[in-house]
């Protein structure tokens, strides 16, 4: 086989054969297929799609490119969660220790930022000393001793996905539903978790802008997981407005710790508890109360042990950006819209994300929000604060925020979207 014929098949809206899929994934993993060739194929998939059998075979080939893990030695049932990515989506940080505090083991393999969305590993690496890269033995040890681990997928776990994941970020192919589904599910199935809850974001700040596309993605992933023997549930959740009051790595860690301490923004707390209940139910744990575990400090205890087990110092000061710029309200009234995508792009431009797969991120960069839709604002009051180490980026970030919010006259009625829009199982 040759890669050109594979690219042409999908370019011309054809169906890739199982043999073509197996070959191209294996050849790309071995370096026989170059990045620019896989980029062309990824773009053809984005434009022309894949049917269910193609997606299933692509996912199986990704899994077959590496090893599979097994958590059968653990005394607890395993439950994992994955988000398709959003703005201010720091939910994994409080969620993993919360579910562990309620009796499940949470093997959370996470990723880095894609496009305008933040990456869990990028956030946690703002904690001094914390390590994302663990061997399989280290991962199992942290999981066994603390109940939760958040780390990068090892080189042996779906290595084809690791290469393709980074490539999609810088070639405009992040939004391809077949590639999103196969990327997520290849890692999760190979990881060996017993149950999986998917948080599929919907709205301007998500890769799925409308609920129909989100349902298609969720249904595809639920089918892939179920067919592989993993109990899989998906929640469709709103991402038209940023989650919480921060978008940026250290900023989001700070907010996550507030949630674990029993505070934090109401929307972050609500979604964290909703996902925790789904994970615990899928794992067969029926009598735990996630809200109580947040309130009594047991989730915080797990967080501290988990961070320390991976070399981090939970008491260390988090990085703070050297420069700030405040955006103020131009008039008084009710904030009725705050576009998640614009905030995500703004944070990315400030240095919280990367333009190339090898780029570093600024730990302290991002955007801090001072008001959310539905709240009254006064002319001149701060709406958001921009944080960066490179002040020359302020104008670039401010350009993305133009027209990103609406202020209506005082007294205007406002109804917020529910956070959980639908459930697919």
Which CA distances in Å does 53 have to 17, 49, 57, 321?
Answer: 9, 12, 6, 47
For the question of residue 161 being annotated catalytic, the response is yes
**Given 39, 182, 183, 186, which residue is catalytic?**
183
For the question of residue 370 being annotated catalytic, the response is no
For the question of residue 356 being annotated catalytic, the response is no
Sequence-distant (≥ 6) Cβ neighbours of residue 264 within 8 angstroms = 94, 244, 255, 256, 258
Query: Is residue 420 classed as helix, strand or coil in its secondary structure?
Result: strand
**Given 10, 57, 81, 82, which residue is catalytic?**
82
Sequence-distant (≥ 6) Cβ neighbours of residue 339 within 8 angstroms = 204, 205, 240, 241, 404, 405
Residue 408 exposed, middle or buried by CB count within 10 Å (0-12, 13-18, 19+): middle
Assess contact for 179 and 161: CB atoms under 8 A: no
R_g over Cα of the chain = 21
For the question of residue 163 being annotated catalytic, the response is no
CA gap 124, 121 in Å, rounded: 5
CA gap 238, 206 in Å, rounded: 9
Burial code (b: 16+ CB inside 10 Å, e: under 16) for 283-312 equals: bebeebebeebbeeebbbbbbbbbbbbbeb
**Given 161, 238, 267, 339, which residue is catalytic?**
161
3-state secondary structure 299-360: HHHHHHHHHHHCCCCCCCCCCCCCEEEEEECCCCEEEEEECHHHHHHHHHHHHHCCCCCCCC
CA gap 106, 237 in Å, rounded: 21
CA gap 384, 247 in Å, rounded: 11
**Given 57, 81, 163, 168, which residue is catalytic?**
168
**Given 112, 187, 354, 387, which residue is catalytic?**
187
For the question of residue 168 being annotated catalytic, the response is yes
Give catalytic residue positions. Answer: 82, 161, 168, 183, 187
């Amino acid at each position: 086989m040759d890669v050109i014929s594979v690219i042409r098949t999908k370019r011309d809206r054809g169906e890739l054969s199982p043999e073509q899929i197996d070959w191209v994934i294996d050849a790309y993993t071995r370096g026989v297929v170059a990045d620019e060739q896989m980029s062309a194929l990824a773009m053809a998939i984005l434009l022309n799609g894949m049917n269910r059998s193609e997606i299933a075979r692509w996912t199986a080939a990704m899994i077959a490119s590496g090893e599979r893990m097994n958590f059968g030695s653990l005394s607890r049932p395993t439950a994992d969660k994955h988000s398709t990515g959003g703005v201010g989506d720091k939910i994994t940080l409080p969620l993993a220790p919360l579910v562990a505090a309620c009796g499940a083991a949470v093997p959370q393999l996470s990723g880095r930022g894609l496009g305008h969305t933040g990456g869990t590993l990028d956030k946690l690496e703002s904690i001094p000393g914390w390590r994302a890269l663990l061997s399989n033995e280290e991962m199992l040890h942290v999981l066994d001793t603390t109940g939760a681990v958040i780390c990068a997928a090892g080189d042996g776990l779906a290595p084809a996905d690791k290469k393709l994941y980074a490539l999609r970020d810088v070639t405009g192919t992040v939004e391809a539903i077949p590639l999103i589904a196969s990327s997520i599910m290849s890692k999760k199935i190979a990881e060996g978790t017993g149950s999986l809850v998917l948080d599929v974001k919907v709205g301007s700040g998500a890769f799925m802008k409308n609920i129909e596309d989100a349902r298609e993605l969720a249904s595809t992933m639920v089918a892939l997981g179920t067919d592989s023997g993993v109990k899989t549930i998906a929640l469709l959740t709103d991402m038209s407005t940023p989650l919480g009051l921060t978008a940026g790595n250290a900023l989001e860690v700070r907010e996550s710790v507030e949630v674990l301490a029993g505070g934090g923004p109401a929307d972050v707390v609500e979604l964290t508890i909703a996902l925790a209940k789904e994970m615990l139910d899928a794992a067969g744990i029926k009598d735990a109360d996630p809200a109580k575990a947040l309130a009594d400090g047991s989730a915080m205890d797990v967080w501290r042990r988990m961070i320390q087990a991976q070399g981090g110092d939970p008491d260390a000061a988090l990085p703070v950006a050297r420069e700030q710029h405040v955006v103020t309200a131009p008039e008084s009234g009710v904030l009725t819209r705050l576009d998640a995508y614009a905030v995500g792009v703004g944070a990315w431009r400030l240095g919280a994300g990367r333009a190339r797969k090898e780029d570093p991120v600024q730990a302290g960069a991002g955007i801090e929000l001072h008001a959310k839709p539905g709240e009254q604002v006064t002319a001149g009051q701060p709406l958001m604060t921009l944080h960066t180490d490179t002040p020359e980026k302020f104008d670039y970030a401010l350009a993305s925020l133009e027209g990103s919010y609406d202020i209506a006259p005082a007294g205007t009625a406002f109804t917020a979207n529910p956070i959980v829009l639908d459930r697919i199982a």
